[in-house]
Amino acid sequence: MSLSHLVRLVRLVPLGAAMLLLGTIATACPGPEYPKCESDDHCKKTKDGGAIDEYCLFGQCQECAKDAHCGAGRECVKGRCEQTCASDDQCGEGSVCNDRRCVTAECRSDDACGAGGSCQAGRCQRAGTTAGGATGGTSAPTDEGVVCERHNARVQFDFNTSDLRPDGRAVLDTLAKCMTKSGDWKITVEGHCDDRGTPEYNLSLGESRAKSVKKYLTALGVDDQRVRVVTYGEEKPLDSSQTEDAWAKNRRGEILFH
């Protein structure tokens, strides 16, 4: 119904009935399509009528918006309820306690990290590196067995975070070795997101993801002038389906050679 038709209709009925009519129309107007939202009310029912119990945070429905929405021993971290911990034994199998959070572990002992490696905060580290991926030197790790080919690469990210995953760090470890060997290689890192959240928020998150890739590479000795970053937010999805699998595909950093 157009605004002009609505105005004419309101003029034809008494004031009380007009107010009732307007209220009915306003109530019938749907909110943003789930999982996008403008208020918590939009996060209580899906477009198919299914009941959900989520909260509006940064323009999208998420599991929580504050710690009170999570149970005892859990905190709201970027829209998700996460278990807090004080030691590794409070986390499940395959996880360790890092900064009061249970995170997926690459290792639990130095033996799992091979020759010259050590296990720090659940991550395998080499000499000259820290648990955060920074290095004390200026050269990347060397491995004569690495075969370097100039082809594009991709790293995936978990929901609503720019932290690199173990599989992403493995890709970047190899890339850093090859860029050290091939001094003329230059790359652009594109940051991408799924379409949950506002466009502005996703542009910012995409930029953070691209910068995380660049920071990791430069920590391994790659000249930062050889790594350009750009964000596309939600603008270039690999899969436009509104499914968990599609959203997981779209949360990524694309590494393109010049």
Yes or no: say if 58 and 67 are a contact pair by the CB < 8 Å rule. no
Closest C-alpha among 197, 195, 257 to residue 226:
257
Q: What residue spans of the chain are helical by DSSP H? A: 3-11, 15-28, 166-181, 199-219, 244-250
Q: What is the overall mean pLDDT for the chain?
A: 78
Q: Where are the alpha helices (DSSP H) in 53-186?
A: 166-181
DSSP calls for 193-229: --S-S-HHHHHHHHHHHHHHHHHHHHHTT--GGGEEE
Cβ atoms of residues 149 and 171 within 8 Å = no
Q: Which amino acid is at 181?
A: K
Please report the pLDDT score of residue 24 as a whole number: 55
Kindly give the pairing relationship between strand 187-192 and strand 227-233. Answer: parallel
| Mean pLDDT score, 129-137 | 38
Asked if residue 60 lies in contact with residue 160, where contact means CB atoms within 8 angstroms, the answer is no
Confidence (pLDDT) at 85: 79
- CB proximity list for 85: less than 8 A, separation 6 or greater: 91, 97, 100, 101, 102
pLDDT for residue 145 is more than 80? no
Tell me, rounded to whole angstroms, the distance of Cα 231 from its chain centroid.
13
Mean pLDDT of 128-151: 52
pLDDT tens by residue, 165-184: 999 999 999 999 999 988 88
Tell me which CATH code domain 139-258 carries.
Answer: 3.30.1330.60
Specify the amino acid at residue 44. Answer: K
- Would you state the pLDDT for residue 21? 53
pLDDT (average), residues 52-62? 83
Q: Which residue matches tokens 């002992």?
A: 109
pLDDT digits (tens, 9 = 90+) for 8-52: 554 555 555 555 555 555 455 567 777 788 888 888 876 566 778
CA distance 189 to 185: 13
Q: What is the pLDDT of residues 219-235, one digit of tens each?
A: 999 999 999 999 999 99
Contact between residue 74 and residue 81 where contact means Cβ atoms under 8 Å apart: yes
**How confident is the model over 232-243, as pLDDT tens digits?**
999 999 999 888
Would you kindly state where each structural domain of the chain is located, as residue ranges? 1-30, 139-258
* Burial bucket for residue 65 (CB in 10 Å: 0-12, 13-18, 19+): middle
Mean pLDDT throughout 192-198? 89
> Higher pLDDT residue, 183 or 115?
183
pLDDT at 209 over 50: yes
Number of C-alpha atoms within 13 angstroms, CB side, residue 148? 16
Q: Which of 252, 250, 256, 193 is nearest to 228 (CA)?
A: 256
